[in-house]
Amino acid sequence: MKMLTRAVTVVVCLAAPMAFADPQPKMKEALALLKDAKAALQAANADKGGHRVKAIEKVDEAIAQVEKGIEFDNKR
């Protein structure tokens, strides 16, 4: 019985961090990197022939998609 109690304790201790782990760490990392990229683009000089503005728009689209992906997976 003592051996079973120890085994259960070990399993619970090993599984507990997974139960409370941050969901979707890679998606959240990607979201943070996209937001950093947007900030860098916004801080750049405006004279880029419209390409900087288009890049900001694309980054905004990517941010929205990542947020939707996180929201979708959190509902499952």
Span 5-38, pLDDT tens digits? 565 565 556 655 555 667 899 999 999 999 999 9
Q: Which two tokens stand for residue 1?
A: 């019985």
Three-state DSSP state, 58 = helix
Number of CB atoms found within 10 A of residue 34's CB: 20
**pTM for the full model?**
0.71
**Arithmetic mean of pLDDT, 34-62:** 97
Say if residue 66 is exposed, middle or buried (CB neighbours under 10 Å; 0-12, 13-18, 19+).
buried
**Arithmetic mean of pLDDT, 47-64:** 96
